Homo-oligomer: A and B are copies of this chain.
Amino acid sequence: MTATGTTSVIHPTATIGAGTTIGEFCVVGPNVKIGSGCKIGNHVVIHEDTVVADTVRIDDHASLGKRPMKAANSATTKEQELPPLTVGELSIVGTGVVLYRGAAIDPKVLMADLCTVRENVSIGRGTIVGRGVTVENFCTVGRYCKLESECYITAYSTLEDRVFVAPGVVTSNDNFVGRTAERFKHFKGVTVKRGGRIGAGTVTLPGVTIGEDALVAAGSVVTKDVPARTVVMGTPARKLRDVPVEQLLENQGWVDA
């Protein structure tokens, strides 16, 4: 049995696991599957077919399983069939979060307030998606990453495991800045290799690869690839020094959990 606010509207085809609680004024659509031991706030909307695993916390005003909006004028959003949104066990979905149908969220992911994860995105186990972060469509985010508050991950980006993206980071994917039909063949986000770190308020240009365990200093503008284990700084960013040994990923003693 479940303790459900008497005001919520649950579709008869939805299934809800034992011990899950649902607040007031929620809407749970057709064929939604919610696991056991979840704690769902108020005014949460879970659209059709969404699958939420066990022990997930979802806060007020979150909207899960949203279908993409297609503008007449959009360069990258196409009409398509999308698999249902899946949210892994022990994940947390913050207040006002928007998760799209076609996103796949691993277990133990924290999605902080007002972040958005678009369609055709996967987020790896134990990753933190910070407050207000946008992960655009067609991105792959690895495990144990930290995407700090208000960073912006452009479409067609790949972040490997243990990547750190600081607050206010901006990334881009269109070297043609919205012009020429040619550009559609060249959209390319950023790639950050395992353990790469991008400092606060930086701007990274389309197609750039940040190497393994490399570090971009705060406030830099990154115009070309950054070699592994290298600190770059400035506008445009240039090599400053090697990453200090004690900061290397291999010296943190971190174990996947």
Q: Say whether, besides A164-B178, A167-B172, A199-B172, A98 and B113 are in contact (CB < 8 Å).
A: yes
Question: CA–CA, A61 to B96, complex, Å?
Answer: 9
Question: CA–CA, A41 to B65, complex, Å?
Answer: 13
Among B45, B215, B247, contact of A60 (Cβ-Cβ < 8 Å): B45
Among B41, B164, B182, B203, contact of A45 (Cβ-Cβ < 8 Å): B41
Q: Report A174-207 residues with CB < 8 Å from chain B CB.
A: 176-180, 182, 197, 199-203, 205
Residues of chain B contacted by A74 (CB below 8 angstroms):
110, 128
Query: Contact between B73 and A63 (Cβ–Cβ < 8 Å)?
Result: no
Among B59, B66, B164, contact of A66 (Cβ-Cβ < 8 Å): B59
Q: How many chain copies?
A: 3
Query: Contact between B7 and A9 (Cβ–Cβ < 8 Å)?
Result: yes
Residues of chain B contacted by A235 (CB below 8 angstroms):
219, 234-235
Query: Contact between B167 and A72 (Cβ–Cβ < 8 Å)?
Result: no
Question: CA–CA, A179 to B229, complex, Å?
Answer: 13
Determine whether A86 belongs to the interface, using a CB cutoff of 8 Å to chain B. no
- Residues 13-25 of A, flagged 1 when their CB comes within 8 A of B and 0 if not, give 0000000000111
Determine whether A57 belongs to the interface, using a CB cutoff of 8 Å to chain B. yes
Q: Say whether, besides A61-B43, A69-B92, A69-B112, A170 and B24 are in contact (CB < 8 Å).
A: no
Residues of chain B contacted by A95 (CB below 8 angstroms):
63, 66, 98
Query: Contact between B146 and A178 (Cβ–Cβ < 8 Å)?
Result: yes
| Chain B min CB distance to A44 (Å) | 9
| Chain B min CB distance to A223 (Å) | 8
Determine whether A209 belongs to the interface, using a CB cutoff of 8 Å to chain B. no
Determine whether A158 belongs to the interface, using a CB cutoff of 8 Å to chain B. no
- Residues 128-164 of A, flagged 1 when their CB comes within 8 A of B and 0 if not, give 1001101010000000101001101010000000001
Name which of A9, A25, A108, A199 has the most chain B CB atoms within 10 A of its CB. Answer: A25
The 4 closest A-B pairs by CB, nearest first: A219-B221, A201-B203, A168-B170, A71-B110
